Amino acid sequence: MKVLILVHVLSAVIGVGPTFFAHLLTRPDKDVDELRIAMKYSRSLEFFPKIGGSIAVLTGIALFLLGNYGPFTQIWLLGSLILYILIQIIVIGLITPPTRKVNEWLGRPENLDLTGAPPKVIQNALITIDRWFYLASALGVLLFIFMILKP
């Protein structure tokens, strides 16, 4: 059981961890060269939430089924699951589309040699991404609080 808890905690930290600093990569004040580098790192970091988050959910279910945690409807347990789902909705449904838009813009042949500030539409996409990442980070903190302070 302790190994399962260890895997659960580590996968949760690894899975949610990139969310806490991803908004540093997508700040709207970046020039095009910085943005190219930031988006490259952002794409690399996408791997961790997908794998870590999936393992965290599976180990969480296993812990619930194997442990004596009481009813599923407890606020810390149900709340944690809801928070995780909200984070996934934000990242997949609300951050991914504008991120894709930025990456597509960066990949266009006519933009490969650009320097300086990106156009306003891209800066606006970055503002949107940045705001959603802050919300996802706040929900991630709340998720960890639920997990730590559970009865």
Span 92-110, average pLDDT: 94
Res. 128 pLDDT band, cuts 50 70 90:
very high
Q: What is the pLDDT of residue 73?
A: 85
Token look-up 């929900």 returns: 139
Q: Tell me 111's DSSP state.
A: G
Question: 123 pLDDT exceeds 90?
Answer: yes
Q: How many domains does the chain have?
A: 1
Under a CB-based contact definition with an 8 Å cutoff, are residues 60 and 8 in contact? yes
| pLDDT band, very low/low/confident/very high, at 26 (cuts 50, 70, 90) | confident
User: In this predicted model, what pLDDT tens digit does every residue of 82-98 receive, in sequence order?
Assistant: 998 899 899 889 999 99
SS3 per residue for 59-108: HHHHHHHHCCCCCCCCHHHHHHHHHHHHHHHHHHHHHHHHHHHHHHHHHC
pLDDT for position 21: 84
Confidence of residue 70 (pLDDT cuts 50, 70, 90): confident
Position 124 confidence tier, pLDDT thresholds 50, 70, 90: very high
In the chain the first and final C-alpha atoms are separated, in Å, by: 18
CA dist 68 and 93 (Å) reads: 34
pLDDT score at 130: 94
Tell me the mean pLDDT in the region 29-40: 93
- Domain with 25, as residue range(s), is 2-148
- Calculated CA dihedral for residues 9, 148, 42, 128, nearest 10 degrees: 150
Residue that the structure tokens 């180990």 belong to = 59
The C-alpha atoms of residue 11 and residue 55 are separated, in whole angstroms, by 6
